[in-house]
Chain A
Amino acid sequence: GQNIDQPTEMTATEGAIVQINCTYQTSGFNGLFWYQQHAGEAPTFLSYNVLDGLEEKGRFSSFLSRSKGYSYLLLKELQMKDSASYLCAVRDGDYKLSFGAGTTVTVRA
Chain B
Amino acid sequence: IAGITQAPTSQILAAGRRMTLRCTQDMRHNAMYWYRQDLGLGLRLIHYSNTAGTTGKGEVPDGYSVSRANTDDFPLTLASAVPSQTSVYFCASSDSRGGHNEQFFGPGTRLTVL
Residues of A within 8 A of B (CB): 31, 33, 41-45, 48, 87, 89, 91, 94-102
CA distance in complex: A81, B104 (Å): 21
How far apart sit A97 and B90, CA to CA, in the bound complex (Å)? 13
Quote the shortest CB–CB distance from A51 to chain B (angstroms): 12
Alpha-carbon gap, A41 to B37, bound state (A) = 12
- In the complex where A42-B105, A43-B105 touch, is A95 in contact with B43 (Cβ < 8 A)? no
Listed from nearest, the 10 A-B pairs whose CB atoms lie closest are A42-B105, A101-B42, A99-B43, A45-B102, A48-B100, A99-B42, A95-B96, A43-B105, A42-B107, A102-B42
List B59-105 residues whose CB lies under 8 Å from chain A: 59, 90, 94, 96, 100-105
CB distance from A37 to the nearest CB of B (A): 9
Residues of B in contact with A (beta carbons under 8 Å apart): 31, 33, 35, 40-45, 48, 50, 58-59, 90, 94, 96, 100-108
Which B residues are CB-close (under 8 A) to A96? 33, 45, 48, 58
- Please indicate the chain B residues that have their CB under 8 angstroms from the CB of A42 in the complex: 90, 105-108
Determine if A95 and B31 form an interchain contact, defined as CB atoms under 8 angstroms apart.
yes
Q: Given A42-B90, A42-B105, A31 and B42 touching (CB < 8 A)? A: no
B60 to chain A, nearest CB (A): 12
Which residue of the partner chain, among A45, A94, A101, A102, contacts B103 with CB atoms under 8 Å?
A: A45
The winner among B44, B48, B96, B102 for most chain A CB atoms within 10 A is B102
**Cα distance A87–B50 in the bound complex, in angstroms:** 23
Across-interface contacts of B59 in A (CB, < 8 A): 98
Considering the chains assembled together, what is the distance between the CA atoms of A77 and B36 in angstroms? 32
| Bound Cα distance A33, B100 (Å) | 9
B101 touches A45 (CB 8 A): no
CB of A100 within 8 A of CB of B45, answer: no
Determine the chain B residues whose CB is within 8 A of the CB of A43 once the complex forms: 43, 90, 105
Expressed in whole angstroms, the Cα–Cα distance for A95 and B31 within the complex equals 9
Q: In the complex, A89 Cα to B33 Cα: how many Å?
A: 14
When distances are taken between beta carbons in the complex, the residues of chain B under 8 Å from A98 are 45, 59
Q: A41-B107, A42-B105, A45-B103 are in contact. Are A95 and B50 (CB under 8 A)?
A: yes
